[in-house]
Amino acid sequence: MFILGLTGGIGSGKSAASAYFRDQGIVVVDADIVAREVVEPGQPALVAIEERYGAEALLDDGTLNRPWLRAKVFAEPDERKWLESQTHPRIRDSIIAQLKAATSPYAILESPLLYESGQSELVARTLVIDVPEEIQVERACSRDGNEEEQIRRIIAAQMPRSERLQKADDAVDNSGNLEALYSQLAPLHQSYLQLT
């Protein structure tokens, strides 16, 4: 099966782009959703996180304290590396299984860390959703309620925009509205159908 990798920095509009493809009947495997699944209560990754950080890493209901962990790993790069060593192999295994089960003409792996995590090896072609950094910050702050400083740390931890664009097979500018985004995605969808 032809698999497309869809990526972009935080606040770039990956979700809006993947929603467009879903509306066309394409199966989208979202690495962020898979990443949440591997740290659900009872999963080995969550057990390892609790062992390393203690009860502070968990909420009262036993689920992962995401804001606390996000602040910790983006402030301490070594902790981010440790966390990735616990989660990335499990995420990869689940992604592969879900992509293999896809029944649409092609499938999409949506991942903010497509290149950084090595997930780009799972895809035949990549599409980057791109916006200038100031738009990333503005959108991510308004959407997530995060502080600008934290969003900028996340951007700094991700692959630089210029490098992401250089690696991309295809790129769209999502600085405008949804209609402008969809008008760029429609011909790409047709070309991906032809590649299958």
Instruction: Find all residues with CB under 8 Å of 6, minimum gap 6, and list them.
Output: 14, 17, 18, 21, 28, 108, 109, 110, 111, 114, 126, 127, 129
Is 5 a known ligand-binding residue? Answer: no
For 170, the enclosing helix (H) or strand (E) is: strand 170-173
Q: Is 183 annotated as a binding residue?
A: no
14 is in an annotated binding site: yes
> Diameter of the chain by CA atoms?
51
N- to C-terminal Cα separation, the chain: 7
16 is in an annotated binding site: yes
Contacts of 53 (CB under 8 A, 6+ apart): 69, 72
| Residue 11, marked binder | yes
15 assigned ligand-binding residue: yes
Q: What is the DSSP letter of 54?
A: G
Tokens representing 120 are: 């780009």
**Binding site: what residues are annotated?**
11-16
Task: Report the binding-site residues for ATP.
Answer: 11-16
